A = this chain, B = another copy of it.
Amino acid sequence: SSKKTWLDTMSIRGYVQVRNNMTLGGDRHIRHQADRSVGENTNFIIRRARLVFSGDVSDRLSYYFQPDFASSSGDTGNIAQLRDAYGDIHLTTDRVHRLRVGQSKIPFGFENLQSSQNRVALDRADAINSCCKDERDQGVFYYYTPQDKQEMFKYLTSNNLKGSGNYGLFALGVYNGTGANRSENNSSLHVVSRFTYPMKLDNGQIIEAGISAHTGTFKPNRSAIGGITPTARSKTDGFSDKRVGLHAVLYPQPFGLQAEWNWGRGPQLNDERTEIKESSLDGGYVQAMYKIDNLGGRFGTLIPFVKWQYFDGGQKFETNAPRNKVNDWELGFEWQPVPEIEFTAYYSALDRTNVQSSPYEKYNSDLLRMQLQYNF
């Protein structure tokens, strides 16, 4: 028998996103925590530069190793930092039951789990995304996926239907709760669970709906505002941090709809900016899209879309957990002239908070957002 080589158990791929945003009107000094190229004194940035090393070592172990080379440390830009580093231990060799251990995405919501390589809009909606820094954390997650649903999850991503990938019909996990690439700062683990169900309608179109919930204790970073550091009369270990979310997706065959909403409680800076308190939060988004394949016979795939998002709640991973109020509209398209090149352009009416620096101002700005993505 011939011995396995590394090529039997590893494949490498990657993608790069280059962005440029133009402020068309409104507040020109807007800042957007998800995109440093929004606002004044900006031009081109590399938003993501990823390499993925992955494979099946055996019928017991699959792995996924993904650094991003567009991360930064202080003023040092475009350094390599882990996104994923996990193994899937297949408890059964039919891959129905598995344990994912390491740093990986937290199974909460839908858009969080969908790859940035596949998402139509440039950034995830704040309402859901604010649950989980970089969507990921370090922990242990159990996933249950029957074999027919394994096929269906695969079909949805490999046919460019903007699927989430396989995060199980059912998921249950524990994780630090401090966010990807950050050290734990209390002794309590977060717990998350998710149930989702994709099914094919009689007309062949696929729909999916589900529910997620997480709970834990979160200790936000604090720093002085106008010389005074906000107080945080929490339990020693932090604030209660819990959410429940719903998601529903009609996959774009050709018309698609995607909606999520979540409600919860977590740390939030009060309006006087003197104290962080446990507060309620809620928000979500609705997105409609239409997938036109084989555009004009030879111009590839075009996906016009419109998205509305809303959020009112504490942005816990930002220093002082400031309150973020978001009410954004996006209207535009993703165009794939060939599968390996994607160009996205859209008009965006932003109504949101600068959550990165005090006094946490609100902005109203109109942007033209553009991104070129390479898949290799």
* A295 at the B interface (CB under 8 A): no
Distance between A173 CB and nearest chain B CB, rounded to angstroms: 11
* A344 at the B interface (CB under 8 A): no
Given the known interface contacts A138-B18, A189-B43, the answer about A79 and B79 at a Cβ–Cβ threshold of 8 Å is yes
Count contacts on A: residues with CB < 8 A to the other chain.
Answer: 74
**Is B338's CB under 8 angstroms from A184's CB?**
no
Distance between A376 CB and nearest chain B CB, rounded to angstroms: 5
**Is B85's CB under 8 angstroms from A41's CB?**
no
Given the known interface contacts A12-B53, A74-B74, the answer about A374 and B63 at a Cβ–Cβ threshold of 8 Å is yes
* A308 at the B interface (CB under 8 A): no
Across the two chains, which residue of chain B brings its CB closest to A338? B60
**Is B63's CB under 8 angstroms from A102's CB?**
no
Q: Write the A322-344 contact mask toward B (1 if CB under 8 angstroms, else 0).
A: 00000000000000011011000
* A69 at the B interface (CB under 8 A): yes
Distance between A271 CB and nearest chain B CB, rounded to angstroms: 29
- Pick the residue among B58, B63, B139 that contacts A44 (CB under 8 A): B139
CA distance A288 to B102 in the complex (A): 30
Q: Which residues of B contact A63 (CB under 8 A)?
A: 16, 374, 376
Distance between A357 CB and nearest chain B CB, rounded to angstroms: 15
Q: Which residues of B contact A51 (CB under 8 A)?
A: 53, 65
CA distance A9 to B79 in the complex (A): 24
CA distance A60 to B299 in the complex (A): 13
Chain A residues 164 to 214 lying within 8 A of chain B, measured CB to CB, are 175-176, 180-187, 189
* A14 at the B interface (CB under 8 A): yes
Given the known interface contacts A73-B76, A73-B79, A80-B80, the answer about A65 and B341 at a Cβ–Cβ threshold of 8 Å is no
Q: Which residues of B contact A40 (CB under 8 A)?
A: 187
**Is B58's CB under 8 angstroms from A102's CB?**
no
Distance between A68 CB and nearest chain B CB, rounded to angstroms: 10
* A261 at the B interface (CB under 8 A): no
8 contacts between A and B (CB under 8 A): A40-B187, A42-B184, A43-B187, A45-B184, A60-B338, A67-B80, A76-B181, A77-B81
Given contacts A16-B102, A43-B176, A45-B183, 15 further A-B contacts (CB under 8 A): A6-B12, A9-B376, A14-B53, A16-B85, A41-B184, A45-B138, A45-B184, A46-B102, A49-B82, A57-B376, A65-B376, A67-B80, A71-B79, A75-B182, A77-B181
